[in-house]
Amino acid sequence: MEKLLNRFLKKPWLVLVVFLIMTVGFFKVMKSNSRMETDLDKYMPQHHPAFVFSNQAEEWFNIKDGIIIAIENQEGIFNSGTIQKVKDLTKALQKMKEINKDDVTSLYTADNIIGSEDGMDVRAFFKNTPKTDEEMELLRTNVRNNEMIFGRLVSNEETVTVIIAEIEDDVFSQEFYKQILELGESFNGPETIHVAGRPIVEGTMALLGPADMKRMVPIVLIVIILVLLTVLRSFKSTFFTLLVVMFSTVWTFGLMAAVGIPIYAVSTMIPVMLIAIGVADGIHLYSHLHLYMNKNPHAAKKDAMLDMIKGMWKPVVMTSVTTAVGFISLLTSQVYPIKYFGIFTAFGVMMAMVFSLVLIPAGVMVFGLPKWKKQKSDNGGNKASFATAFSAKIVKYKYATIILTAVIVFISIAGIGKVWINSSFLEKFEADSDIVLTDQFINENFGGTSTLNVIFDSQDNGAFKNPAVLTAIDKMQYDVEGTLQVVGNSFALSDYLKRMNKVMHADDEAYNVIPESQELIAQYLLLYEMSGDPENLWKVVDYDYKKANLTFQLKSDNSKAINSAIEVIERHVPELNKLNVDLKYAGSGYKGLVFTDLILQGQIASLVMSLIIVIILLSLMFKNFMAGLIGSVPIIITSIISFGVMGLLNIPLSTTTALLSSIAIGIGIDYAVHFLERYKIYAAETGDKILTSRHTMQHSGRAIVFNAIVVIAGFLVLLFSVFPPNRALGALVSLNMFTSFLGTVTIMYLLLFVSNIYFKKR
C-alpha cells in the first residue's frame, strides 16, 4: 500500500488534471441531456395492479386529467361580453394541437337534454352569443333548469363558469404549459381568468423545481464556505473540500443524464444533499492532519499525507459505505423518484469519498500544507480539558442521561402513531401561492378539482339498464355527497337517466329519479344515442352496458380526503354485490392514494433493511457484533425521535419526507463509525478506559462536532425552498444530525464505557 501511495503522491498534478477533464465531460453530458419529468403519473410504477387497472379504465371511459379555466365576472356571467368570451376561449382551446376538439367542455359545447314534441331532444345551449335580454334570459333559464350543468359548469351564484380541456398524458410540455397560461392571460379583463387542474400543478412544479435548485445551491455554497472557514480556518482546506462536493455533484447529474434518468422534483435536492454530506470526509481528513501537524510541526508534506491517508482511509471508506447503504436502501421503494434519488445520491456519496482521498492529498502536494496556528498539546489546554471534563460528566451522570433519553424516546413513540401519509401534489406548494389560491377558488364555486373514479363491472349484458342497479349507484352518490363536505359533485349514468325522465315528464321535479322500468330506461338511452352525442354517454358506460364509470369531484387531493370518500363508498359494496356488480377504483386521485401506500411500504422496508445492513457492516468492520449493535443505537434513537416529531407536529410523509430515515441512518452513522474507530485504536494503545475516552473525545469528538455543524448548516438551507415539504425535510434532517451527534457522544459512549468490549481481556 505504501508503494502505491508513494507513486500517487509523486504525480499530483496529473491526478488533478485527469479528474478535471473527466468532470468537464460529465458537465457537458449533464447540460445537453438533462430533462425535468413533469408527468406525475411517471412517478408511479405502471406494472402495479392498481395502476394497470386504472390505465385500462381510463381507456374504457376516456378518463383524462383536465385543465380547468374559470371565467369570473362579479356582476354575473350572463351578459354578451362574458358569454362571447366563453365561446372564444373554447374555440381557442379546440384549435390547440395538444387538445382534441371533442375533449373541451364548456357552456358552449355542453348538451342540453330537453323535452320536445317528438319526445326528447339534445341541443346546444347556444351557438350564437345571445344579444337581446330575452335571449340571455332564456339561456339563463335553460342553465338553471339543468342539474347536469348548473353547479357543475356554472356556479350557483352565476358569477363563474368553467371550461374543462382534457388532455393526454404524453402531450403536456413546458411549452404547452406556457401557452395555456398566456392564453388565459390574454382573456383577462374585465373578467378574471383562473387556470387550474392537475396538468397545471405538474407544469408549475416542473417550472419551480429547477428554479428552486438554482436558488438554493448558491445559498448552501455560501453557508458551507463560511462554516468551513470557521471550523477549518484555512482557505486551501475550504477550497479543496468544496471542490470535492462540486465534482461529485457534476458526476452524479452527468451520470443521470447519460443513462436517461430524468430529474424529478425530489432530485432537485441532490446538490444540497451532496454539498452538505460530501464535506464530512474533508473535515475529518483535515482535522486529522491538523492534529498531526500540531504534534509534528516540522514534518514534510509527503509524510503528513502518508499519515493522513493511512490513519483515515479506513473510517472515510466505512462512513461513505454506510452512508451509501442508507440511500441504496431506498431501492426497496416502488416510487421512481425515491428509488432514483437513492441510487444517484449513493453514487455521489461514493464519488465524494474517492475525490476526498485523491483530490485533497493531491491538492496539498501541489499547493502546500494549510497554515494553522499551533495549538497546545493534548497534555494541556482548554480543548483537552473540555474533552476530559465532558467524558467525565457523561459517566458521572449516566443514569440521568439514560432516563432523559428514555423519556424522550417514549414521547416520540407516542408521536409516531400520529404520522400520516399525504399523496397531495398541490400541498407541495405554499398555502398562499397562486396555484393553491386558484384551486381553492374553483373548489369554493364548483364540485372540486380532484377526482375519484369508481368503476362498476358486471358479467350480465345490459346490467346498467337495470333500475335496481342504477338506483343503488344513485343512492351511493347521494350518501357520499351528503356525508362528506370534501365531496362536491358526482356524475354517472344515473344523472343522465334522471334528467331524461324529468324532461320527458314536462320538467316535473317529482320525476327527477331513476325510472322504475328497464324497458323505459332502454328507450331513453336509445333516444339519447339517436339525438345527442353518444360519445358523452360512453364516458359513463360501455357499449354493452356491462361496465360503468362514476366520477366523484373532491375539493382536496390529499389521502385523507380520498380515503374518507372510499370509506363511505365501501358501505354500498354489499348491496351492489347482491346485484352481481363489483367495483374498483381508478383515475389520478386513486393512483395518488396507492402512491401513498407505496411510500409507506418503501419507508418501512428501507428503514428495516438499512438498519440490518448497517449493523452487519459495523460488526464486520470492527470484528465485533456488540460493537455493531452499540454503533447502531444513536441512529435508532434518532429515527424514533424523528418520526415522533413528525407525528407531534403533524408533518406528513410525502415523496420528500419519505427520504428521512435513509438520510438519518446514512449520515448519522458516520459519527458512530469515526468514534468507534478512534475508541478502538486508543483502547489498544493505552489500555486505559479513562485515557481512551479522553483521547477519543479530543480526536473524533472534535471532528464530529465540526462535521455536525457543517451538515446541519447545509440542510438548514432547505428552509429557503419554495416547497414546504423540502423545508420540513431540511429542519428534520438538521434535527437528526444533532440527535445523532448527541447520541454518539453520550448514549453510545456510555454503552462503550460500561460494556468494556475493548477491555475485557485486560
- C-alpha distances in Å from residue 244, one per residue of 390, 664, 687, 710: 33, 22, 37, 15
Looking at the structure, tell me whether residues 299 and 184 fall in a common domain: no
Alpha helices in 75-197 (DSSP H): 80-94, 133-144, 174-186
Per-residue confidence (pLDDT) for residue 377, from 0 to 100: 47
Q: What is the Cα–Cα distance from 55 to 66, expressed in whole angstroms?
A: 16
| Cα-to-chain-centroid distance, residue 751 | 37
Looking at the structure, tell me whether residues 196 and 222 fall in a common domain: no
Q: What is the Cα–Cα distance from 760 to 679, expressed in whole angstroms?
A: 14
Q: What is the Cα–Cα distance from 68 to 57, expressed in whole angstroms?
A: 22
Is the separation of the CB atoms in 345 and 245 below 8 Å? Answer: no
- Within a domain: residue 678? yes
Phi, psi of 72 (to 5 degrees): -110, 130
- Within a domain: residue 756? yes
Query: Which grid coordinates belong to 592?
Result: 395518488
Query: Which grid coordinates belong to 436?
Result: 393553491
- Within a domain: residue 384? no
Looking at the structure, tell me whether residues 516 and 402 fall in a common domain: no
- Within a domain: residue 422? no
Looking at the structure, tell me whether residues 219 and 293 fall in a common domain: yes
Query: Which residue range forms the structural domain that includes residue 636?
Result: 394-416+624-762
| CATH, residue 399 | 1.20.1640.10
| Cα-to-chain-centroid distance, residue 640 | 21
By CB atoms closer than 10 A (0-12, 13-18, 19+), residue 626 is middle
- Within a domain: residue 4? yes
- Within a domain: residue 636? yes
DSSP string, 30-82: HHHH--B---GGGGS-TTSHHHHHHHHHHHHHT--EEEEEEEE-TT-S-SHHH
Last residue of a domain, one of 168, 183, 202: 202
Among the listed residues 150, 59, 105, the one whose alpha carbon sits nearest the alpha carbon of residue 549: 59
Phi, psi of 193 (to 5 degrees): -105, 130
Looking at the structure, tell me whether residues 220 and 364 fall in a common domain: yes
Q: What is the Cα–Cα distance from 631 to 669, expressed in whole angstroms?
A: 7
- 24-58 residue pLDDT tens: 999 999 988 877 776 666 777 778 888 889 889 98
Per-residue confidence (pLDDT) for residue 80, from 0 to 100: 94
Is the separation of the CB atoms in 171 and 98 below 8 Å? Answer: yes
Looking at the structure, tell me whether residues 404 and 523 fall in a common domain: no
Looking at the structure, tell me whether residues 459 and 563 fall in a common domain: yes
Q: What is the Cα–Cα distance from 363 to 630, expressed in whole angstroms?
A: 37
Among the listed residues 255, 351, 361, 302, the one whose alpha carbon sits nearest the alpha carbon of residue 28: 255
Query: Which grid coordinates belong to 199?
Result: 396538468
- 128-177 residue pLDDT tens: 999 999 999 999 999 999 988 998 899 999 999 999 998 876 777 778 88
3-class SS of residue 168: coil
- Within a domain: residue 48? no
Looking at the structure, tell me whether residues 586 and 697 fall in a common domain: no
Q: What is the Cα–Cα distance from 121 to 380, expressed in whole angstroms?
A: 99
Last residue of a domain, one of 202, 222, 237: 202
Q: What is the Cα–Cα distance from 5 to 647, expressed in whole angstroms?
A: 50
Among the listed residues 288, 218, 286, 278, the one whose alpha carbon sits nearest the alpha carbon of residue 243: 278
- Within a domain: residue 385? no
Last residue of a domain, one of 181, 202, 223: 202
Alpha helices in 77-125 (DSSP H): 80-94
| CATH, residue 520 | 3.30.70
Q: Could you tell me the pTM of the whole model?
A: 0.76
Looking at the structure, tell me whether residues 367 and 398 fall in a common domain: no
Looking at the structure, tell me whether residues 297 and 361 fall in a common domain: yes
DSSP-derived pairing of the beta strands 450-458 and 119-124: unpaired
Regions of the chain where pLDDT drops below 50: 377-383, 762
Number of structural domains (the chain) is 4
Looking at the structure, tell me whether residues 309 and 349 fall in a common domain: yes
- Give Dmax over CA atoms of the chain in angstroms: 109
Looking at the structure, tell me whether residues 221 and 190 fall in a common domain: no
